[in-house]
Amino acid sequence: MIRKTILSLAMFIPAMLLLAPSPALADIITLSLSNPVQSASPGSTITFDATVSAPSTNGAPVFLNNDNFTIDSPLTLDDSDFFSFPISLDPGDSYTGALFTVTLPSDIVFQTYTGSFEILGGADGSTYNPEATVDFQVNLTPEPSTMLLLATGLGLLAFAMYRKRQISFGTGI
């Protein structure tokens, strides 16, 4: 009798494990910026466009619930464009649009600035797991008028040195 019970349990437990729901695998999204490295002048605002996709191999929609970002000071990032993205992506869906904007102060130091943008979400509207992260870079370039002024000043300085040299050698007027 004990042997029969043990044999029944030995068959029952594997059957229950096969019928029990398997733990859900986390579905994923991919996030890519169309231009992750951009150049801008002091005082300007630049927009970063992105495509977010849910692979067709996902088993369920992925919710895009929030975002998180870091950016070098003194740049500021406005993430309000992210909230125009869809609330969720079904398997095989993708969306392309403006993800965020970066504003450069007018008194900024000329150098390269970096940042990172992360989408938080998951299997429902109240999950905030990291789903995808992208890095970006902003290269500061002088304004064209600044470059024109610099070129004009250097040209006048070269001309003045040329004239002084001509006068020193007695060939000047």
Please list the rounded mean pLDDT of every run of 10 residues in the chain (173 residues): 54 52 67 98 97 97 98 98 96 98 95 97 96 97 59 67 73 61
Calpha distance 81→79 (Å, rounded): 5
Do 73 and 154 lie in a common domain? no
Whichever domain contains 114, its CATH number is: 2.60.40.10
For residue 32, give the amino acid letter: S
Calpha distance 82→67 (Å, rounded): 8
Residue 74 DSSP label = T
Do 111 and 161 lie in a common domain? no
Q: Which residues contact 141 (CB under 8 A, 6 or more apart)?
A: 39, 40, 41, 110
Do 169 and 121 lie in a common domain? no
Give me the number of domains the chain comprises.
2
Task: Report the pLDDT value the prediction gives residue 23, as an integer from 0 to 100.
Answer: 44
Do 104 and 118 lie in a common domain? yes
Q: Is residue 14 part of a domain?
A: no
Q: Which residues contact 127 (CB under 8 A, 6 or more apart)?
A: 63, 65, 121
Surface-to-core class of residue 157, CB atoms within 10 Å of its CB (0-12 exposed, 13-18 middle, 19+ buried): exposed
Please give the model's pTM, rounded to 2 decimal places: 0.70
Q: Is residue 5 part of a domain?
A: no
Do 67 and 120 lie in a common domain? yes
> Which residue range forms the structural domain that includes residue 29?
25-141
Q: Are 62 and 127 in contact (CB under 8 A)?
A: no
